[in-house]
Amino acid sequence: MTPTRREVRRIVDLAEMVEADIRRRSLQPGDRYLSTAETAKMLRVDTAVANRALQLLAKRKVISRRQRAGTFIAQVDGTRKMTVLHRVHMLMSDRHPQTEGWLNAETVLAIQNELPGVRLQFHIVPTADEEKQIEQVIRESLQAPQPKGFILIRSSLVTQRLIEASGLLAVIWGHPYASIKNLPFVDRDQRQIGRLMAEYLVERGHRRVLMLMRQRLLPGDHELISGAREVLDKAGLSPSAITQLCLPQDPEEIRHGIESELETSEEVPGIMARPPLMAEVAGEVFVERGLVPMRDGGMVVADYFDKAAAPYAVIRPAYEADHQGARLGRLVSKLARGEKPNPDHRLSPVRLEIPEDV
């Protein structure tokens, strides 16, 4: 059973509990530790979740797992160079879990694999008290005896600016704001996402396009919009043929916005939706009006991370889920070794997936 995104932080917390148990028992390298079933019983979770926590500790080089032999406290064998970092703080806005969900477990494990021995620590940053919280984390990191780094997950301008000014090691997961010049970043190729979405609708013959975006636009959103408009402009669509709505993740508000557009438009627009929820609501509105989604109006979604097949066209990563995690981890590791990355960003390619029956 694969953990949901909301379980990822729980897995990190459970791994910390296992480490605390190891310390409490004063176990030494080479000592045997609990089996997966025994760990699950101790943590009061199912074995699949316990196994993920143990996997994370194995990536950290805290334990070693030997097939048919069991789990042991790891020996320091020196076969892999350890990063000089002690801890990496992963800063995430409190809006992120509601709008985009937690990181998936494969991504977290991929980051940890590139940073053996480093502790990953999640911080949910409250929007209402963001500056104070970030300044506190920075102050504690600067005063710590061991070096620490940061991964900024779809972070705000306030967070990016404060972390950049601190001089601490940091990598952005997402795009930096235009005024942020010194923080490297990893993201999907957002401009390519916009191009692929627009090309799909143009090829289907749409001469009107409705862009359904998140209420709070981030730098990556602007890249997506720019990529889409490049294609739509080249196809001869006038600015008046393109409507952009920035909506909250609220079905009723999304429905109202889509219905208003359909009532004022002489033809059914093609739908470009950033989050899947907006495409789902658009599909419901189409059906209620006697339209057939994907026949009368094409739909394509940018942020579809479910492994299951979708009823509309979606953008998928060109690589497996752990690809970006590995890139993030390698970039952090390179910075920790004092190396200047060139280029200072990594854009992961994407592909368009169209349902077979369309």
**For residues 11 and 46, is the Cβ–Cβ distance under 8 A?**
no
Task: Give the Cα separation of 133 and 337 in Å (integer).
Answer: 28
Domain 87-183+322-348 in the same topology as domain 5-73: no
Task: Give the Cα separation of 238 and 241 in Å (integer).
Answer: 5
pLDDT value of residue 66: 85
In this structure, are strands 87-93 and 119-125 parallel, antiparallel, or unpaired?
parallel
Class of domain 5-73: mainly alpha
Task: Give the Cα separation of 204 and 33 in Å (integer).
Answer: 59
Mean pLDDT of the chain: 87
Question: What average pLDDT score do residues 112-140 get?
Answer: 88
DSSP 8-state class, residue 32: B
Give CA separation, 186 vs 105, 327, 344, 358, in Å.
Answer: 18, 7, 9, 33
DSSP string, 160-185: HHHHHHHT-EEEEESPPPTT--S--E
The region that residue 142 occupies, defined by phi over 0 for left and psi between -120 and 50 for alpha, beta otherwise, is alpha
Residues 323, 328, 331, 332, Cα dihedral to 10°: -150
Q: What is the pLDDT of residues 163-217, one digit of tens each?
A: 999 999 999 999 999 999 999 999 999 999 999 999 999 999 999 999 999 998 9
**Model confidence at 3: pLDDT above 60:** no
DSSP 8-state class, residue 5: G
Question: What average pLDDT score do residues 96-116 get?
Answer: 74
Q: What is the pLDDT of residues 35-82, one digit of tens each?
A: 999 999 999 888 988 888 898 888 777 898 888 889 999 865 444 444
Give CA separation, 317 vs 44, 108, 305, in Å.
Answer: 35, 17, 9
Question: What average pLDDT score do residues 319-344 get?
Answer: 86
**Model confidence at 87: pLDDT above 70:** yes
Task: Give the Cα separation of 253 and 333 in Å (integer).
Answer: 43
Spatial CA neighbour of 313 closest among 325, 321, 323, 304: 304
Sign of torsion, CA 211 179 318 234?
positive
Residue 24 token pair? 């409490």
Q: What is the pTM of this model?
A: 0.80
* CATH fold group of domain 190-317: Rossmann fold (3.40.50)
Task: Give the Cα separation of 302 and 315 in Å (integer).
Answer: 5
Q: What is the three-class DSSP state of 253?
A: helix
Which residues have CB under 8 Å from 277's CB, separation 6+? 249, 251, 254
Q: What is the pLDDT of residues 258-317, one digit of tens each?
A: 999 999 888 899 999 999 999 999 999 999 999 888 888 899 999 988 888 899 999 999
The CATH architecture annotation of domain 87-183+322-348 reads 3-Layer(aba) Sandwich (3.40)
Residue extents of the structural domains in the chain: 5-73, 87-183+322-348, 190-317
pLDDT value of residue 103: 66
